[in-house]
């Protein structure tokens, strides 16, 4: 499990008292990075295949709403999957559209902060890796838009909701990437937080979303690994490189913690999403897993997490940590982060610049359709 990738540390050990874990441990930590996550994804993939042989009997075609609801509840209770052909409560459908669309928008907007460094990557190899990663994010957006479309909304409507600002994307992408080390910090922390959030979604009750998440998570584990590797080189490099890496981690740590959303006590939507098995763990549970996962990794990176109160709590068998600034999170969500305007302006411009491609594709599709009609039977 990703939260326990490295096992609990020795009791009484904390980040401050134990800076020199042996190198064998560091290597093991690096090797384990991603494997625990991928193990979870593989188990979810096997569960998905099993759920495909659905055992809950189908509702009759002329069933009334109560019978349809009972059937829906039975599928969820049996941990099987709701598919596009199935009846589903309107609220479930709308909740999924909102969640999957916001997720898709985040993947697309998330290309910008790192795309910023493609032309300035420090080597050809780094450039190739970063290009592949940013292209993966475009692919994630496309899988997710396709999953949302199975719920009866069009791609045009989804894109319109992003460019008009009616739907949001993850607030994390409203922070700037100031140095090359930010590419490492984004990969390690932002993609890392994304995986912790998304691995449970591989078991979500809506089949198309769960299937999209399997592939997304496999690719995200590569993203986290590449960010970790960038920081590992810098963290063990010259004093200047290490300082640059530390500065990036200092700036990205708390925004990454905020990616899990407001504390459970203030979280809207959560209870219903849990009941529908769209969401499997609370915001605070996932945030704790992420913190526990990062502490040992930070040691291996030769970097520290910017939290003087980070301490192993032997009773809870988890780290105590300082909460992110949720007022800042709300400010960024409401449009007042460092890069909100820039991100949206860039996205709108890209959408406008792509108009001719959409028009050409539509004209070509219309021509193909009329050619087919013209063929004599
Ligand atoms: Fe992604
Ligand atoms: Fe990613």
Query: How confident is the model over 106-117, as pLDDT tens digits?
Result: 999 999 999 999
* CA dist., res. 32 & res. 339, Å (int): 34
Evaluate whether 108 touches 138 at the Cβ level (below 8 Å).
yes
| Ligand that comes closest to the CA of residue 106 | 1
Cα 136 to ligand 2 centre (Å): 7
| Ligand that comes closest to the CA of residue 186 | 2
Among 63, 68, 157, smallest CA distance to 104 is for 157
Cα 269 to ligand 1 centre (Å): 23
Cα 38 to ligand 2 centre (Å): 14
| Ligand that comes closest to the CA of residue 103 | 1
Burial of 46 (0-12, 13-18, 19+ CB in 10 A): exposed
206, β-bridge pairs: 82
Cα 262 to ligand 2 centre (Å): 22
What does the pLDDT look like over 36-45, one tens digit per residue?
778 888 888 8
Cα 281 to ligand 2 centre (Å): 21
Cα 123 to ligand 1 centre (Å): 23
What does the pLDDT look like over 241-258, one tens digit per residue?
999 999 999 999 999 999
Cα 187 to ligand 2 centre (Å): 7
How far from each other are the two terminal CA atoms of the chain, in whole angstroms?
59
Confidence (pTM) = 0.86
* CA dist., res. 321 & res. 294, Å (int): 12
Averaged pLDDT for residues 82-99:
94
* CA dist., res. 193 & res. 256, Å (int): 7
What values do phi and psi take at 96, rounded to 5? -65, -40
Cα 308 → chain centroid: 27
* CA dist., res. 95 & res. 262, Å (int): 18
Burial of 280 (0-12, 13-18, 19+ CB in 10 A): middle
* CA dist., res. 135 & res. 130, Å (int): 8
Averaged pLDDT for residues 300-328:
96
pLDDT of residue 258: 96
What does the pLDDT look like over 176-216, one tens digit per residue?
999 999 999 999 999 999 999 999 999 999 999 999 999 99
Q: How many CA atoms lie within 13 A of 279 on its CB side?
A: 24
Cα 294 to ligand 1 centre (Å): 19
| Ligand that comes closest to the CA of residue 130 | 2
Computed from CA positions of residues 195, 196, 197, 201, in that sequence, does the dihedral angle turn out positive or negative? Answer: positive
User: Residue 254 corresponds to which tokens in the numbers above?
Assistant: 């708390």
Q: How confident is the model at residue 95 (pLDDT cuts 50, 70, 90)?
A: very high
pLDDT of residue 3: 29
313, β-bridge pairs: 318
How many C-beta neighbours within 10 Å does residue 64 have?
A: 10
């Amino acid at each position: 499990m990703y939260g326990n990738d490295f096992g609990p540390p020795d009791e009484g050990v904390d980040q401050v008292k134990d800076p020199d874990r042996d190198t064998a441990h560091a290597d093991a930590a690096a090797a384990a990075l991603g494997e625990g996550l991928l193990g979870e994804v593989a188990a979810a993939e096997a569960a998905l295949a099993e759920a495909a042989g659905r055992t809950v009997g189908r509702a009759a075609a002329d069933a009334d709403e109560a019978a349809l609801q009972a059937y829906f509840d039975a599928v969820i209770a049996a941990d099987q999957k709701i598919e596009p052909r199935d009846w589903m409560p309107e609220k479930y459908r709308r909740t999924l559209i909102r969640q999957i669309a916001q997720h898709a928008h985040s993947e697309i907007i998330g290309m910008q902060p790192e795309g910023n460094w493609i032309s300035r990557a420090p080597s050809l190899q780094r450039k190739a890796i970063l290009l592949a990663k940013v292209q993966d994010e475009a692919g994630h957006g496309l899988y997710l838009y396709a999953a949302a479309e199975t719920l009866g909304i069009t791609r045009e409507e989804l894109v319109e909701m992003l460019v008009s600002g009616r739907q949001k994307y993850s607030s994390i992408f409203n922070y700037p990437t100031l140095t090359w080390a930010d590419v490492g910090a984004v990969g390690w922390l932002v993609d890392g937080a994304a995986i912790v959030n998304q691995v449970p979604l591989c078991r979500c009750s809506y089949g198309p979303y769960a299937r999209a998440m399997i592939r997304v998570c496999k690719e995200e584990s590569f993203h986290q690994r590449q960010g970790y590797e960038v920081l590992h080189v810098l963290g063990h490099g010259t004093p200047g490189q290490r300082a640059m890496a530390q500065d990036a981690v200092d700036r990205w740590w708390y925004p990454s913690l905020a990616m899990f959303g407001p504390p459970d006590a203030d979280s809207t939507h959560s209870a219903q999403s849990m009941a529908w098995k769209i969401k499997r763990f609370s915001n605070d549970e996932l945030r704790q897993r992420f913190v526990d996962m990062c502490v040992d990794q930070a040691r291996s990176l030769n970097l520290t997490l910017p939290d003087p109160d980070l301490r192993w709590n032997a009773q809870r068998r988890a780290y105590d940590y300082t909460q992110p600034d949720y007022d800042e999170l709300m400010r960024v969500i409401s449009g007042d982060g460092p890069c909100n305007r820039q991100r949206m302006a860039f996205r709108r411009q890209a959408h406008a610049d792509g108009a001719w491609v959409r028009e050409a594709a539509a004209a070509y599709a219309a021509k193909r359709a009329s050619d087919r009609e013209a063929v004599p039977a």
